[in-house]
Structure 1
Amino acid sequence: MNLIRAAATVGSYTAISRVFGLIREILLSHILGAGTLADAFVVAFKFPNFFRRFFAEGAFNAAFVPQIARRLANNDEQLGRASAKDLAQKVFSCLAWFLFVFVLVVELTTPYLIPLLAPGFATTPERLDLAIQFTRITFPYILFISLSALLAGVLNSLHHFAAAAAAPILLNLMMISALILYPYTNLEPGTALCWSVFLSGLVQFGWLYWICQKLDFKFWLQWPQITDDVKKVLKLMVPGTIGAGVMQINLFIDMMLASLLPTGSLSYLYYADRLNHLPLSIFGVAIGTALLPSLSKCWRQGDVKRAYHQQNTALNFALQLTIPSTIGLIVLSYPLIDLIFGHGHFLVYDVQQTAPALAAFAFGLPAYVMGKVFVTTYFACEDTSTPVKIGLICVITNLTLNLMFMPFFKHVGMAMATSLAAWVNTFLLAFFLRRRNLFSFPKILFLNTLKTTAVSLLMGALLFYSQHWELTNALKSISRILEIGVLVGVGAGFYLAIGYSVGIRPLNSLKS
């Protein structure tokens, strides 16, 4: 499957999932607001998702998919498929047993872990008690969703991207259902949400398990067998966790430090991060997921020219979409937050606190997506040590910047520190790839990036001034949705029209 077409498949389903996710966050902010209950839920939701993002979007797939893809590429198709099945089954059993023990340990130690993860909760016993209660419900989700990541890796190796990309939609649908139906149960909204998270992991696992069965990849639980092939996957995976998940580690540090700030700070960062994740997940995760099997094959066959082409196509496509997205999110941060979250228990003050955090997160959006492409190249070459070293540098950078910015800019400084650390991460990844001749930044890509940035800045200026037009104010008095719709339409139309005239044509990548 063509790289960009595969990315478009993943991106399309991811976009649908993010739309439902946006509906989920709208309901969440309306019902929970940005107070004690919301802060407790954010911790309980982020804790298992911290590990999920490592497995589902980072180190696990980066270590596992190339090994499966290499076996499937065997000249003897039947032998290669049998070898891939055998490895997948062994890794499945090892992962299942490890996660079972891991979940059990966390469940027993939750009252001791939460004060470490959110030290600020110690001063507010109500938040602490709720976070412990909620985490005990949500954490088993990691067992099913991590096994789902393995099944998704198998499907991606078989170039069946759609089923795995569609699975996260189930999480959002179940959480939306919980938020709508909780008044008809005896559950509080926070408790109902937590149970919906747990059940969604089970449903996603069942869905992907059924698809794998249909493709004759059958899995069952057996006693772990640590063969040499399994050791290789684990060896690649363990250090890669840091390299592929540097963004998640940085966000985790933000969560710990934000708990020390006034009540609501965790919620402000959470809502801003969720909105920033809309373009990040669609572009970054989709491109990384589609690129890994293809790039692994190129480097294995020694096809350097094609590998460079794959990298640069992915980077060009990503930058032509993420740079204007960044400018748009920064300029429209306040009206977007006001439109999406500014209702119910989410007050005007909460909007004012969340909007600058969104702008700060958005600054790092191109870096996050470029980093996905660069990390994918390292893992395609089975090099996990370099991203680890770079990841450690960036974690220290993020922590240092957090401590510098936090006293002056509170939670907004934390968001900016995360973005700056992402840029440091991306530049270092590219620098060491270039030194090893694993990355080429041709003149055409450089010129395209300059043109994309220039047109995006012009679009941003247009959006900024258009917010003060009489027509815009008139639309705002009628409907905030109408106002934002017109602004987004004007910005997108301007970018596409001017961009087309200077050669910025991201849709051409889809046709290539």
Structure 2
Amino acid sequence: MSLTRNFLSVGGLTLVSRIFGFVRDALMAAVLGISPVSDAFNAAFRFPNLFRRLFAEGAFNTAFVPMFSGALETQGPDGAKELASRIMSWLVAVILVVTILVEIFAPQIMVAFVPGFVGDAEKFDLTVFLTRIMFPYLACMSLMAAYAAILNSMGRFFAAAFAPIVLNIVNIGALIPLAILTLEAPDTAFWVAIATMLGGIAQLALVWWAIRRAGMVPRIRLPRFDADVRRFWLLAVPAIIAGGITQINIFVGTIIASGANEVMSIIYNADRLYQLPLGIIGIAIGTVLLPDLSRHLSAGRDVEARQSQSYGLFLSMFLSMPAAGALIAMALPVVRVLFERGAFGAIDSVNVSQALIAFAAGLPAFVLIRVLQPGFFSRKDTKTPTWFAAISLVINILLSLALFGPLKHVGIALATSIAAWVNVALLATFLARRGHFTISAAEWKQQGLILALTLVMSGALWGTVLLLGPVFDPGYFFPAQALAMLALCVVGAGLYFALAHLTRLQPLGGLLRRLQRRR
């Protein structure tokens, strides 16, 4: 299957997942609002996700996918399965130890994670309680991510991309009655935490079923150290450090946000909105591109590897630039239509939309990082991106501290975006210096045209929002707001793709031919 077809398969399912995720987030905003309880829940939920991204999506995938893809090419399915068994045994052991330690020492750990909560005993105790409920979610998600890496390396993307939909469906099923009932906010947070754990188990079950059908279920056993495991850890440790640096960015933002009421919840809701295009574009391209590059390089197909990365660059910018422009032009209407109901008020919409604009400014950079990092990882270089992540960490910390005072939630989001652009500049520069990444004059022209079309589309959307005026005012008839938002999305997308076709940036016929191509 072609890179385009794989990307659209993963991206399409991610879109469905994020739509269900928006329904979940809208229900959660309605039952928890922007409040101390929502701050406690978001902090508790962010904590296991921090470790999931570090151990599973970060270090494990970065080190494992190139090794597993290479084993498939050179040793066949049996050799690759044996390699997966030995490496996954170590992942399970590490996750088990971390989970036990966190369950025991959660109060002490959360003092460092959310120091701003310590002065409010009720809020802090609730955060610790919810953390203990949800932290085993890490084990489910880590195993799911490992199984997904195996499936993705085999070119089977459906089950792993569909699994998050299951989590959102389970959460929605729990939130609907909670939105109807009038429970105390802490009780609501408790049941949402339980639903999160059940959703994690359901996700793991789905991916395990898929990998069992593929006949590639690794056998978990007592971890043993051998040459392949040593090689894995030599690749994984720098990736853990790189991932750790990235997660320290989140950690620092959480610490700063915990010092002011409701900032953490504002950041969380804005983050969820820009994660939609990031998931569909950046994560989908990164998911497909890493095994694709690894297979080409393992087989000595350098030309095909460069073509894959060049097309990944074009596709990511072709889609992420207009997405960022649309979020900036429609930030307040988007937040108001999706979230403003129940405990979520008009002022909350303004605050979240401000943070969303700052995050959207960095959206193309977040996507580009996903496109450029496989150029290092597929060549088994995990050290260089670690240094770049460290530099971006320092920049993020300094800017967050400097901007939080005058700009509050906007400062944290803006610091994150600026640090991401610095990371992109470093990744692209060093790949180019090594001869692994080049942009031709024609490709620079493409990027300039993408920017121009994005500006035209964004200007049209901004002007239309101004013309609609009262439709997006607080308290306006919701069905009319929803229809207006849908119309804006259709008009914006239609205008952008029509201009892309007319300017020959991406003729629709060429896109259809790529979709029909099997390889």
User: Normalised by the size of structure 1, how large is the TM-score?
Assistant: 0.95
In the alignment, which residue of structure 2 is the partner of 1:45? 45
2:141 is equivalent to residue 142 of structure 1: no
User: Which whole-Å deviations, capped at 9, do the CAs of 1:110-157 have from their partners, x for residues lacking one?
Assistant: 001111111110122221111000000000111121011111111111
* Counterpart-to-counterpart distance in 2, 1:422 and 1:325: 17
2:111 is equivalent to residue 115 of structure 1: yes
Q: CA deviation at 1:300?
A: 2.5
In the alignment, which residue of structure 1 is the partner of 2:176? 180
Q: Give the alignment of 1:69-468 within 5 angstroms.
A: 69-74=69-74, 79-182=75-178, 183=181, 188-243=187-242, 247-261=246-260, 263-468=261-466
Unaligned stretches of 5+ in structure 1?
A: none
* Counterpart-to-counterpart distance in 2, 1:506 and 1:268: 40
User: Which whole-Å deviations, capped at 9, do the CAs of 1:278-322 have from their partners, x for residues lacking one?
Assistant: 000110111011111110122223333222211110110110110
Q: CA deviation at 1:473?
A: 4.5
SS of residue in 1 equivalent to 2:319? helix
* Counterpart-to-counterpart distance in 1, 2:208 and 2:155: 16
In the alignment, which residue of structure 2 is the partner of 1:65? 65
* Counterpart-to-counterpart distance in 2, 1:173 and 1:62: 29
Provide closer, same or farther for how the CA distance between residues 126 and 230 of structure 1 changes in structure 2, counting only shifts above 3 A. same
Root-mean-square deviation (CA, aligned residues, Å) is 1.9
User: How many residues end up aligned between the 2 structures?
Assistant: 506
- When structure 1 is superposed on structure 2, of 55-64 and 492-501 the one drifting more is 55-64
Aligned partner of 1:281: which letter?
G
* Counterpart-to-counterpart distance in 1, 2:117 and 2:182: 31
User: Which whole-Å deviations, capped at 9, do the CAs of 1:430-458 have from their partners, x for residues lacking one?
Assistant: 00101111111112221111001011111
* Counterpart-to-counterpart distance in 1, 2:430 and 2:487: 43
* Counterpart-to-counterpart distance in 2, 1:244 and 1:322: 23
Aligned partner of 1:175: which letter?
N
Aligned 8 A contact 1:63 1:236 in 2: yes
* Counterpart-to-counterpart distance in 2, 1:350 and 1:481: 19
Q: CA deviation at 1:376?
A: 1.0
* Counterpart-to-counterpart distance in 1, 2:324 and 2:205: 37
* Counterpart-to-counterpart distance in 1, 2:431 and 2:367: 16
Q: CA deviation at 1:200?
A: 1.9
- When structure 1 is superposed on structure 2, of 320-329 and 439-448 the one drifting more is 439-448
* Counterpart-to-counterpart distance in 1, 2:484 and 2:501: 26
Provide closer, same or farther for how the CA distance between residues 428 and 498 of structure 1 changes in structure 2, counting only shifts above 3 A. same
Unaligned stretches of 5+ in structure 2?
A: 515-519
- When structure 1 is superposed on structure 2, of 151-160 and 183-192 the one drifting more is 183-192
Provide closer, same or farther for how the CA distance between residues 354 and 185 of structure 1 changes in structure 2, counting only shifts above 3 A. closer
Q: CA deviation at 1:509?
A: 4.4
In the alignment, which residue of structure 2 is the partner of 1:28? 28
User: Which whole-Å deviations, capped at 9, do the CAs of 1:178-207 have from their partners, x for residues lacking one?
Assistant: 212344999921001111122222222222
Q: CA deviation at 1:221?
A: 3.2
Aligned partner of 1:117: which letter?
F
* Counterpart-to-counterpart distance in 2, 1:501 and 1:313: 20
User: Which whole-Å deviations, capped at 9, do the CAs of 1:191-226 have from their partners, x for residues lacking one?
Assistant: 011111222222222222222122112334321112
Q: CA deviation at 1:506?
A: 7.5
2:486 is equivalent to residue 488 of structure 1: no
Aligned 8 A contact 1:250 1:395 in 2: yes
- When structure 1 is superposed on structure 2, of 35-44 and 166-175 the one drifting more is 166-175
* Counterpart-to-counterpart distance in 2, 1:128 and 1:362: 31
Provide closer, same or farther for how the CA distance between residues 221 and 297 of structure 1 changes in structure 2, counting only shifts above 3 A. closer
Q: CA deviation at 1:55?
A: 4.2
Aligned partner of 1:13: which letter?
L
Q: Equivalent pairs: percent with the same residue?
A: 37
- When structure 1 is superposed on structure 2, of 124-133 and 485-494 the one drifting more is 485-494
SS of residue in 1 equivalent to 2:398? helix
Aligned partner of 1:216: which letter?
G
